[in-house]
Amino acid sequence: MKFNCHFKTLLLSACFSSTLLTSCDGEQSKVNKPYRAEILKFVPSSTTSGESWVVAEQELATLENLDTLEGSFFSMTLGGLIKINSNIGSLIDASSNSSPVRANLRYTTKNGVIVPRDTSTLLALSSYFAFEQTLAVLQESTGIDPNELKKNINGPYRIYFEPSLTEKVENESAFLTPKLNAAFNPESNDFYLFRRSELESIPFSANIKVISHEFGHALFKNSFNANSAEICRTSEEEINARMADKFFSGRWSNEYAISGINEGFSDFNSYIVTSSTNVFTDSLPRFSSESRSLTGPAFVFSQLTNDIVCSGRFYCIGTLFARALYGVAQSYKNRSDLMAFSRRVYTALEKSRENLRASPAKDILPMPSKEAATCIRRSKLSLSYDGAITSAFLAAFLQSFSAGEEKKNLCENLRNLFGNYGFSQEARIVCES
Ligand SMILES: [Zn+2]
């Protein structure tokens, strides 16, 4: 059965009950692999119409067991309990309960197709499908073989779907009402898709724009962080030694500017996977998060001390980085050229970790601040300190691009967006070769 339902606003329940009417005939029979299910799917804009959401029958190609939601690349736990230790935007340090209370899927079948019987099941399967779609373009968009990525993390990736949260508090467990939507835990390689809020018209948990952004964090870890979690943890004895070491282990996980670059790359990955320039449209229309959009109102690095210009703290640095990449991406009119650019971006990210240790980046990079050495992230930008870090990063990043039109274009975008503070004269030397 093919069922389409447009999903502009909160039509979920209306949409859903008509699905049940046509298929709730008690046929809970066996379904065969590859599984097919009715899920909520994003349809990118085309030359004839804008973006839309439909409920449609799709194959869950890598799902191996419908009862346990185990698959070759992703295994999903419904429910479960997550203890939050700290969170940095959508990057999170948390631990999960080893024996979570699992929820079950509720579905019926129609002609061998899984038809969800409740909203959670629809969204869980839709989210699984969105992860699969993100993975499906991985080889093309980064050059990495999905099997290699899986091997690097001793995969599959674990996805916690709508877990309960507790905050780490002495002797008590406080449940959070999270402002968080979705998150990636670089230490455990787990993804968390949090409970829906009434404000979301397309729930974050099923939104491929959000999921491909989160997956961007996993790719940043695999490339820039050389597949290491490198969580910064305070140790009083080490602080002085750290302040004298530009490359102490864990520095990048807490540096304001690098956190921003991580977010920006993730936004770029979301764009590459979905062709959409704003991660938050559809999900949070009531908060027009235009400043995070790749095509939103213009701002530059030196304005980022002003929250009115962009209120997203280090995310705003990420938006500048993503916008510079997007500016180049737009010059590629066909998909294979765009994907080739995306692979060069990924390779540059992979190499920039080493390039940071070479000239000119290592000379531009400031010694770690006391806060960085103490594993504390500032909540506000420091133009000179963070600007020196973005300058060093951009020099390291650009070094991997060969001379030509593309590098020229990228350098120009970065100059315009990061200015003299965020992309210093010393760093721009790499644009000349
Ligand atoms: Zn993020």
What is the structure's pLDDT at 17?
38
Q: What is the C-alpha to C-alpha distance for residues 32 and 193, in angstroms, rounded to an integer?
A: 27
Q: Name the pLDDT band for 231 (thresholds 50, 70, 90).
A: confident
Mean per-residue pLDDT over the chain, rounded: 85
Rounded to 10 degrees, the C-alpha dihedral 311/312/315/321 comes to -30
Query: Both tokens of residue 1?
Result: 């059965």
Average pLDDT over residues 282-304: 76
- Residue 12 Cα to ligand 1 midpoint, Å, equals 26
- Residue 32 Cα to ligand 1 midpoint, Å, equals 36
Read off the pLDDT of residues 100-157 as tens digits, 9 standing for 90 and up: 556 689 999 999 999 999 988 999 999 999 999 999 999 999 999 999 999 999 999 9
Question: What is this structure's pTM?
Answer: 0.88
Query: Both tokens of residue 272?
Result: 């590459």
What is the structure's pLDDT at 14?
36
- Residue 33 Cα to ligand 1 midpoint, Å, equals 33
- Residue 379 Cα to ligand 1 midpoint, Å, equals 16
Q: Name the pLDDT band for 346 (thresholds 50, 70, 90).
A: very high
Q: Name the pLDDT band for 168 (thresholds 50, 70, 90).
A: low
Got the DSSP string for 314-363? Answer: HHHHHHHHHHHHHHHHTT--SHHHHHHHHHHHHHHHHHHHHHTTSTTHHH
Q: Name the pLDDT band for 180 (thresholds 50, 70, 90).
A: low
What is the structure's pLDDT at 360?
97
- Residue 260 Cα to ligand 1 midpoint, Å, equals 9
Q: Name the pLDDT band for 234 (thresholds 50, 70, 90).
A: confident
- Residue 167 Cα to ligand 1 midpoint, Å, equals 20
What is the structure's pLDDT at 26?
43
| Matching residue, tokens 């839709």 | 126
Got the DSSP string for 107-126? Answer: EEEETTEEEESSHHHHHHHH
Lowest-pLDDT choice from 76-90, 351-365, 400-414? 76-90
- Residue 216 Cα to ligand 1 midpoint, Å, equals 8
Q: What is the C-alpha to C-alpha distance for residues 199 and 287, in angstroms, rounded to an integer?
A: 9
| Matching residue, tokens 């508090």 | 169
Backbone angles phi, psi at 90, to 5 degrees: -100, 10
Say yes or no to pLDDT of 242 above 70: yes
What is the structure's pLDDT at 406?
98
Of residues 181, 268, 255, 180, the one with CA closest to residue 220 = 268
What is the structure's pLDDT at 104?
84
- Residue 273 Cα to ligand 1 midpoint, Å, equals 15
Read off the pLDDT of residues 4-58 as tens digits, 9 standing for 90 and up: 333 333 334 333 433 333 334 444 457 899 999 999 998 888 888 888 888 999 9
| Matching residue, tokens 């093309």 | 140
Read off the pLDDT of residues 71-105 as tens digits, 9 standing for 90 and up: 999 999 998 777 766 655 556 666 665 555 566 89
383, 302 in Cβ contact below 8 A? yes
257, 390 in Cβ contact below 8 A? yes
